[in-house]
Amino acid sequence: MKKIRNIVVVGGGFMGAGIAQVFASARYRVSVFEPSGEVRDSLHERVAASLRALGRDDSVAGDIGVTDKLGAAVANADYVTEAVPEKLELKQSVFADLERLAPKTAILASNTSVIPISRITQGLASAHRMIGTHWWNPPYLVPLVEVIPSISTSEETLLETMALLASVGKEPAHVRKDVPGFVANRLQHALWREAIAMVAEGICDAKTLDRCVKNSFGLRLAVLGPLENADMVGLDLTLDIHRTIIPELDRSAGPNPYLQEQVSAGCLGFKSGEGFRTWTAAERDRLREQLNNHLVRAQQARDKPAE
């Protein structure tokens, strides 16, 4: 396998900065290409602040190169990952630029959340070196990165990408089919679809629904996956339960009308103060802090040497 040394992140927003932080912390040479001056100017401080919050040396942040020149940024790249907004046409044009500007041997990865990789790389001549790597938020605290080859991706690109991600302490998971949403977002949004349908039908309110999840199977999920859970309780019991419940679950083919109505009314959640629930600034801050503390504790537990 070739030695990956120079890594370029295209897009230095929320995910791009976090991904750059992970690679820079593992001592890869990292540059970020970002068109917005404001985002470029804040990148070092954003990474430094997140390293300090984790109790880590923040000097690594200063090692990350930041530029508005894509050609120069990728000229010597071994591995490029884009983290630009989730718009198909934008990602297609970024990949076309990268194919033209980066060395022919460089791996080109996309951090798309749900778009099939074959749609992004369609029509490009070197799709064999293009691959999906779906990091989770925030990249330095959530271990999973889904790795999605398209039908054109080479085995070498897949293996090198898996090895690179493992070398920075991530948990790369090979997704065998390039389907929309890959594995984890398909599962997450299957749950959200049912949750929204239940609230829309008045089965319970949004706060009660979240309490039901957080105080039951949500507690177990970090150690017990759904199929481990089914094996644990028995497939015979699972079958009996499914006979009653599966026909009752929401199976609408598009977004729930209730969600569409909320968005049309300007109820966007935290950003407007009103979504499924009403949020004061203090409540939003408290929930963000609780989540961050939870993820940091989980990370510390993973870092602890086995006894």
Ligand X SMILES: NC(=O)c1ccc[n+]([C@@H]2O[C@H](COP(=O)([O-])OP(=O)(O)OC[C@H]3O[C@@H](n4cnc5c(N)ncnc54)[C@H](O)[C@@H]3O)[C@@H](O)[C@H]2O)c1
Binding region for ligand X (CB under 6 A): 10-16, 33-36, 39, 83-86, 90, 94, 111-113, 135-137
- R_g of the chain, CA atoms, integer Å: 21
List all residues 6 or more positions away from 124 whose beta carbon is below 8 Å from its beta carbon: 95, 96, 99, 130
List all residues 6 or more positions away from 126 whose beta carbon is below 8 Å from its beta carbon: 99, 104
User: Closest CB to ligand X among 79 and 198?
Assistant: 79
Report DSSP state, residue 306: P
Q: Which residue minimizes CB distance to ligand X?
A: 13
Is residue 306 packed enough to be buried (19+ CB in 10 Å), middle (13-18) or exposed (0-12)? exposed
Least CB distance to ligand X at residue 14 (A): 4
Report DSSP state, residue 214: H
Least CB distance to ligand X at residue 149 (A): 18
User: Closest CB to ligand X among 24 and 198?
Assistant: 24
User: Closest CB to ligand X among 10 and 30?
Assistant: 10
Least CB distance to ligand X at residue 282 (A): 23
Least CB distance to ligand X at residue 241 (A): 32
Least CB distance to ligand X at residue 15 (A): 3
User: Closest CB to ligand X among 111 and 198?
Assistant: 111
Least CB distance to ligand X at residue 70 (A): 7
Count Cβ atoms below 10 Å from residue 35 Cβ, excluding itself. 12
User: Closest CB to ligand X among 112 and 152?
Assistant: 112
Closest to 185 measured CA to CA, from 131, 217, 144: 144
User: Closest CB to ligand X among 55 and 85?
Assistant: 85
> What kind and span of H or E run contains 67?
strand 65-67
Least CB distance to ligand X at residue 188 (A): 11
DSSP track, 184-202:
HHHHHHHHHHHHHHHHHTT
Q: What is the dihedral of CA 249, 232, 145, 180, to 10 degrees?
A: -30
DSSP track, 233-302:
H-HHHHHHHHHHHGGGS---SS--HHHHHHHHTT--BTTTTBSSSB--HHHHHHHHHHHHHHHHHHHHHH
List all residues 6 or more positions away from 7 whose beta carbon is below 8 Å from its beta carbon: 23, 28, 29, 30, 31, 77, 78, 79, 80, 81
Least CB distance to ligand X at residue 148 (A): 12
